[in-house]
Amino acid sequence: MATPKPQMTIADLNQFFDDAFDTPRGYEVVRIEQDRLRIRQSVETLMLRPGGTVSGPTLMALADAAAYALILAHIGPVALAVTSSLTISFLRKPQPVDVVADAEFLKLGRKLAVVDVRLRSDGMADPIAQAVVTYALPSTPPLGPLPDSA
Amino acid sequence: MATPKPQMTIADLNQFFDDAFDTPRGYEVVRIEQDRLRIRQSVETLMLRPGGTVSGPTLMALADAAAYALILAHIGPVALAVTSSLTISFLRKPQPVDVVADAEFLKLGRKLAVVDVRLRSDGMADPIAQAVVTYALPSTPPLGPLPDSA
Amino acid sequence: MATPKPQMTIADLNQFFDDAFDTPRGYEVVRIEQDRLRIRQSVETLMLRPGGTVSGPTLMALADAAAYALILAHIGPVALAVTSSLTISFLRKPQPVDVVADAEFLKLGRKLAVVDVRLRSDGMADPIAQAVVTYALPSTPPLGPLPDSA
Amino acid sequence: MATPKPQMTIADLNQFFDDAFDTPRGYEVVRIEQDRLRIRQSVETLMLRPGGTVSGPTLMALADAAAYALILAHIGPVALAVTSSLTISFLRKPQPVDVVADAEFLKLGRKLAVVDVRLRSDGMADPIAQAVVTYALPSTPPLGPLPDSA
């Protein structure tokens, strides 16, 4: 796609999330590429259910966060992007390990971004869940690259 | 629909959730009717975002919980029902007040239950979000009414 | 909701569809109310499958058409509204009779309209399918009421 | 995934669809691989809208057909698989050329199959639409490989 190159580094994004949210976020951005991004949530923060599985709401929150991080990485720290809709299919029982979420643009338009997210138990090939997340983008232009001091 | 009558009372259901989850759940079942159920999450437990709004993941978790509670209320405390898919549309900015979630069966089949959920800021007419939640039901028969001691 | 009153009559809308599409559309707008609209597709045009049932794609097309008609009825004949996403749950086997689709606004915003659609086999209480349809609205202002000659 | 190997050839599948439907289907299965399948609908059968674009309902029908063909290719000609839900995001304006739909399993379980479908205007890299299609599978075992005479 003719999407802009990523404008934020991994460190930029993790710092942005640290600053934006009061509560610990649980996940870390671990990879940024053109049109793609990966976040990881450690098993220690997953609040496992009895039986060692991961709750559906935890996976939904992670899918939403991965899509948001992908968008910010590419358009800059525009805090006003808001989730417009999210569809998630739960596919397999999560294992009691870290969860990795891979987000990829289906579209990055002027008004809407549509992101495919695959969630996997760390080290497994088959996804535990798949989500399509749509964000409404603010009509103001993106802020551009972060200043050096950010 | 030819769905069974509710098999659990409001007190039954809230007790079931208290027993099933270690962490405080935040919401209360406040109404059970044929094919419908309402839960409410108090503003104190909503972890408001800066600006007083409610996060998307909080609303997703609440929609999932309302669907789960509706199913349990009608088929009995079958803990093995699992979310199969969830689609949510975010419609309006939540207000800094309690959130009320109204769940209603679109279908209660043998294998799948499909539930429509409308979320509203308390006292408002227009929904802040709408969700369709699909649960896979266990193939074992429901447990029937709770014993008196439950 | 503070949506505008319907700006088109049933006759206006059916005429608009007659003019806009080369092929016969199969369905008729049969009711317009504030925030709601009903269309009906006759069993003769439903291209029944063997066994007398209605195909999934026919129901998807009907859900999309009902949402489109609802939007046009309220904002005027703005042909440029385009479907942004559609989620449909198939709930029950259709009967070999007319299908009735009831569309209702979840939201009519400036950029997006989100519509709930329930499809029923004529005369049945339980829906055969439920859809949520999102339309992107053109940024140009609506055309206003149709002139008398339209 | 540990899905079975495809059990039907391209010719098997196209013949099955010829036999199963009275009306010409418009699309051809053109590729079958492990967990993946491609169908193509020629521009001549697409019933282009004014302006040369392809209608949303045509794309929804094509996404549903691609998922169905993928399932049949892997479990054998079990005509009783039925669409349970479909979510489609419309991403870009289709071009007046053939449409190619690539279906891939997210999951092939005993009761449910979940399929990701990407639709592209022939020769373009970016998808015009993306769909997630869920099929309920019949509880009877698959028929096994087609006999030689099929």
pLDDT in tens, B72-127: 999 998 768 899 999 999 999 999 999 999 999 999 998 999 999 999 999 999 99
Query: d(Cα B116, Cα B101) in Å, to the nearest integer?
Result: 10
Query: d(Cα A81, Cα A135) in Å, to the nearest integer?
Result: 6
Strands of the C36-41 sheet, one edge to the other: C27-33, C36-41, C99-108, C112-121, C129-136, C82-90, D82-90, D129-136, D112-121, D99-108, D36-41, D27-33
Which residues of C lie inside 8 Å of D (Cβ-Cβ)? 23, 47, 56-57, 60-61, 64, 82-90
Contacts of B135 in chain D (CB under 8 A): none
What SS3 state is found at D36? strand
Give the CA distances from residue B26 to residues A49, B14, B49, B99, in Å, rounded to whole numbers and listed in that order: 17, 11, 16, 11
- Closest alpha carbon within chain D to B133: D85
Could you tell me which of B138, B6, B150, B145 has the C-alpha nearest to residue B70?
Answer: B6
Query: d(Cα A132, Cα A114) in Å, to the nearest integer?
Result: 7
Res. A52: pLDDT tops 80: no
**Residue from B83, B85, B86, B89 whose CB has the most chain D CBs within 10 Å, to mutate:** B85
pLDDT: which is higher, C94 or B51: C94
Computed over every residue of chain A, the mean pLDDT equals: 88
Could you tell me which of B65, B66, B70, B61 has the C-alpha nearest to residue B8?
Answer: B70
Contacts of D107 in chain A (CB under 8 A): 89, 91-92, 126
Give the nearest partner residue to B91 out of C87, C107, C126, using CB atoms.
C107
Res. A150: pLDDT tops 80: no
Q: Taking a C-beta distance cutoff of 8 angstroms, is the pair B100, B38 a contact?
A: yes
Q: Do D136 and B111 touch (CB under 8 A)?
A: yes
Q: Do A57 and B64 touch (CB under 8 A)?
A: yes
Q: Do D107 and A116 touch (CB under 8 A)?
A: no
The predicted structure's pLDDT at residue B38? 98
Contacts of C111 in chain A (CB under 8 A): 111, 136
Look up residue D99 and give its two tokens.
């449409």
Give the nearest partner residue to A57 out of B60, B82, B89, using CB atoms.
B60
Computed over every residue of chain C, the mean pLDDT equals: 88
Q: Do B106 and C114 touch (CB under 8 A)?
A: no
Q: C78: distance to nearest CA of chain D, Å? A: 15
Q: What is the mean pLDDT of residues A78-88?
A: 89
Query: d(Cα B115, Cα B137) in Å, to the nearest integer?
Result: 13
Phi, psi of D122, rounded to the nearest 5 degrees: -50, 125
The predicted structure's pLDDT at residue D49? 67
Give the nearest partner residue to D56 out of C23, C64, C87, using CB atoms.
C64
Contacts of B84 in chain D (CB under 8 A): 112
pLDDT: which is higher, A14 or C140: A14
pLDDT: which is higher, A77 or B135: B135
The DSSP H or E segment spanning B11 is helix B10-20
Residue carrying the six token digits 């009735």: C100
DSSP 8-state symbol, A40? E
Q: B59: distance to nearest CA of chain A, Å? A: 10
The DSSP H or E segment spanning A87 is strand A82-90
Contacts of C106 in chain B (CB under 8 A): 89, 91, 127, 130
What SS3 state is found at B36? strand
Q: What is the mean pLDDT of residues A40-45?
A: 90
The predicted structure's pLDDT at residue B49? 67
Give the nearest partner residue to B56 out of A64, A87, A90, using CB atoms.
A64
The predicted structure's pLDDT at residue C38? 98
Give the nearest partner residue to A87 out of C84, C87, C111, using CB atoms.
C87
Exposed e or buried b per residue across D33-68, where buried means at least 16 C-beta atoms within 10 angstroms of its C-beta: eebbbbbbbebeebeebeeebbbbbbbbbbbbbbbb
Instruction: Give the whole-number percent of chain A exceeding pLDDT 90.
Output: 67
Q: D35: distance to nearest CA of chain C, Å? A: 23
Q: C136: distance to nearest CA of chain A, Å? A: 10
pLDDT: which is higher, C81 or D48: C81
Size of interface C-D (CB pairs under 8 A): 49
Instruction: Give the whole-number percent of chain B exceeding pLDDT 70.
Output: 87
Q: What is the mean pLDDT of residues A33-54?
A: 85
- Confidence band, pLDDT 50/70/90 cuts, at residue A51: low
Res. C24: pLDDT tops 60: yes
Res. C128: pLDDT tops 80: yes
The predicted structure's pLDDT at residue A50? 64
Q: Do B112 and D85 touch (CB under 8 A)?
A: no
β-partners of residue D134 are: D85, D114
- Residues of chain D short of pLDDT 50, as ranges, are 141-150
Q: Do B130 and C132 touch (CB under 8 A)?
A: yes
Res. B149: pLDDT tops 50: no
Contacts of B134 in chain D (CB under 8 A): 85
The predicted structure's pLDDT at residue C49? 67
**Residue from C83, C106, C111, C139 whose CB has the most chain A CBs within 10 Å, to mutate:** C111
Q: Do C111 and A136 touch (CB under 8 A)?
A: yes
Give the nearest partner residue to D60 out of C60, C89, C90, using CB atoms.
C60
pLDDT: which is higher, D24 or A12: A12
Q: Do C136 and A111 touch (CB under 8 A)?
A: yes
- Confidence band, pLDDT 50/70/90 cuts, at residue A98: very high
**Residue from A3, A89, A116 whose CB has the most chain D CBs within 10 Å, to mutate:** A89
- Closest alpha carbon within chain C to D68: C56
Give the nearest partner residue to B90 out of A85, A89, A90, using CB atoms.
A85
The predicted structure's pLDDT at residue D26? 86
**In angstroms, how far is CA D42 from the centroid of its own chain?**
14
Contacts of A87 in chain D (CB under 8 A): 87, 132
Alpha helices in C3-145 (DSSP H): 10-20, 56-75
The predicted structure's pLDDT at residue A109? 93
State pTM to two decimals: 0.91
Which residues of A lie inside 8 Å of D (Cβ-Cβ)? 1, 87, 89, 91-92, 106-107, 114, 116, 125-127, 130, 132, 134
Q: What is the mean pLDDT of residues C115-131?
A: 97
The predicted structure's pLDDT at residue D4? 85
- Confidence band, pLDDT 50/70/90 cuts, at residue A48: low
The predicted structure's pLDDT at residue C143? 46
